Each structure stands twice: as C-alpha cells, then as structure tokens.
Amino acid sequence: MEPVNVAIIYYSATGNLHALARAAADGAEKAGAHVRLRKVAELAPSEAIQAVPAWAQHVQDSADVVTASTDDIAWADAVLFGTPTRFGNPSGQLKAFIDSAGILWRQGKLADKVYSAFTASGTIHGGQESTILALSNVFYHWGGIIVPPATPIRSRPRGEIPTAPPMWPAMGRPAT
C-alpha cells in the first residue's frame, strides 16, 4: 500500500498551535505518511506582533517553517487545519489561506480528500467547537470527507466546575 500524503496547515501566533501541528506531523510520520507541515502567512502588522513578546518570539522561532501554498492541499490525500479560536471562528490568517483555495475548488481538486481540524484557546468556553464547525462548513462545501476530532471524555463529579482548562496531550486524548 502506498503511503498517504498528509498536509498539516496551521496558523499559530504564540506557538501553541505550532506545538499541536508538530505533534500531529510526528504522529502521521510514525504511521508511515508523507507529511508536509506548513504555516500560513502572517497577516498582522509588525507593530501588533512586536507589542506581544510571545508573538514576536514565535515569529522568530518558526521562521524555518515553510509557508503553505494551495499546492500543499492539491498534493495531499488528507489535510489537517489548525487554528487558534477567534471568538468561535478560525483566525483571519487561516481563513485568508482557505479563501485562496477557490481555484482548486473550481477545478474539482478539493473533493474526496480527508479533512479534519484542531484548535485551542486560552479559555474553557472560548468557542473551540464553533471553530471546528466553521471549518467543517468549508470542508462540506469542498466535497471533503470529514473526520471529526475526538472529544475527550473526562469523568468529573456531578456539579463540579473546572477552574482551569483541562490540559490534554496532542491529538485530543485525555490525560490520565
């Protein structure tokens, strides 16, 4: 059986989504896939980036990561998109990249590929599910085969409200 081509295309401002994307790439490579790990272009102005030290540092730290192009989607059998949650939606940077894939859609080159998504936010109720659903709308339109991310099930006493976001290892499995 021929190896599967997997493109992992993400946006990360401060490095959290970069770490998740790297974990997904490592897992896919260990499973025998050919992997392209790609970041989307940064669209924020330099002044905004420099105003947040972690953002400026991540821009430097990820300078060696290849910038995604629509050729990466065309090449792939499966595409994983990663984005921070922005009020229940993907980041503008990832959305701009997805919008650039219109030519592939018109040519029928996005259909019948496997798509999935991953996200993170700084808060428990930051809109993660809405972000995944928003990306799924794109995948439906493209004619993709959607593989939803696993939802971790954590046992918690009835009525207990968590005080901090649960920290799950990459790929959505609960910590034990």
130: Cα within 13 Å, side-chain hemisphere: 12
pLDDT 10s per residue in the chain (176 long)?
A: 789 999 999 999 999 999 999 999 999 999 999 999 999 999 999 999 999 999 999 999 999 999 999 999 999 999 999 999 988 999 999 999 999 999 999 999 999 999 999 999 888 778 899 999 999 999 999 999 999 877 655 555 555 555 544 444 444 444 44
Where along the chain do its domains lie?
5-150
The pLDDT assigned to 170 comes to 44
The pLDDT assigned to 172 comes to 47
φ/ψ bin of 39: left (φ > 0), alpha (ψ from -120 to 50), beta (otherwise): beta
CB–CB of 117/80 below 8 Å? yes
Nearest residue to 84 via CA among 70, 99, 72, 95: 95
The pLDDT assigned to 98 comes to 98
The pLDDT assigned to 136 comes to 95
- The C-alpha atoms of residue 127 and residue 89 are separated, in whole angstroms, by 7
CB–CB of 74/109 below 8 Å? yes
CB–CB of 97/41 below 8 Å? yes
**5-150: what fold?**
Rossmann fold (3.40.50)
φ/ψ bin of 172: left (φ > 0), alpha (ψ from -120 to 50), beta (otherwise): left
Ramachandran angles phi, psi of 106, nearest 5°:
-65, -30
- The C-alpha atoms of residue 12 and residue 94 are separated, in whole angstroms, by 9
- The C-alpha atoms of residue 10 and residue 16 are separated, in whole angstroms, by 11
